Amino acid sequence: MCGIFGISDNEESAKLSYVALFTLQHRGQESAGIASVKNGKLSYYNSMGLVNEIFNPSVLASLSGKSAIGHVRYSTAGSSSVNNSQPLYFNCKYGEIAVAHNGNIVNAAHIKENLAKNGAIFQSDTDSEAIIHLISRSGKKNFFEAALEQLPKLKGAYSFLFLNKDALMAARDPYGFRPLVLAKKDSSFIFTSETCAAEVIGAEIIREIEPGEAAIVKNGKISFFRFSPIKKYSRCIFEQVYFARPDSVVCGHTVQSARYLIGKYLFEEMKGVKADIVSGVPDSGSAYALGFSAASKIPYVPVFMRNHYAGRSFIQPDQKMREFTAHLKLAPIKDAIKGKEIVLIDDSLVRGTTSLKIIKSLKNAGAKKIIMAVASPPIISPCFYGIDTPTKEELIAVRLKEKDKIRKFIGADELHYLSLDNLIKACGLGDKNFCKACFDGKYPVK
């Protein structure tokens, strides 16, 4: 999962991109970058680390230009290295190009293998690079015509931003796996992964880019193109469960309100539950716990102090770092915990290692009983569309199979999962409009 942002026709494009990427930092914490265009020339700067560590006033000054794209990365294809940081920069037969990508292209390895046989040399090991090499081999007269021709060859999840000396282009895959929002600020058009990144700079949300649609901004005007019919609208439901920021709007309502409603549904499914307090695993679990508390009348009490500088444990690049980050991130508040029966809510249960450590810390702080409530169904299948669960063996619901075995592994006294029906109901669209492959094993595209 990554975050992308693009803005046209604004002399403050690099600075506004910085602010937007800072707002999207929750979507990726390994690397970040910005590419901009000024006087027909592209400039770019990528580095490992957080947005506020990478960009200082002098770096942003070097990126001044009328249009820009930016990217924050969490690796799902390709290693965690500066060579794979984005935006990627290329100088091909169509001139200088910068590209930012959110998603995962499932046939990228096959495409790159065929391209390599025909002499292609790759500068990164990301799936994102495949599209530029395809475009470079097109016979079309300009880059954007070539992109529209080649995009249908990609399978999987992609929201792309392309920047060259003439224009800014956005494109979303025919299934709509990953979000891509269109907004406007004065005479500038904006594309971004989440509404929060546009709203923070004072932009007005217009609509989402549709699946199979591309938008090109040139000379201050925007044009829309359909490069593919909509296949089966398959918006990732895990965006609302975990990745999206609470103040972002998805499916017509804020993520916070969807999570609050999920908390209410959790209580309805856990009929007769009794506890002294309800709490959430910060930060994503908090909204669920507030909804649960409102429905159950069980008091909501924070039981953890979160270190906000520790990052998000799920999107660390390897398991050892996930466990280390989880340990740093949460400190139990002993006075709130001692002698209490606690309903503890988390967004999901993926590998189980973080939950094990969290519950152990609560028990060590004197908790009498831990009722673990998970705000999503058991994850039974890996994601191939941009979330880092590459093998079934990593998933605790697959590895241990039975709910009681999972409960014992994480150390909870009780364990409850939200039903898939209520998750879909809370997230606001009909069953046909979500990708739920991680929960039901039904992949829209392979």
Out of 2, 196, 427, 435, the active site residue is 2
Q: Is 435 a catalytic residue?
A: no
- Kindly report the number of other CB atoms within 10 A of residue 424's CB atom: 18
Residue 190 exposed, middle or buried by CB count within 10 Å (0-12, 13-18, 19+): buried
Catalytic residues: 2
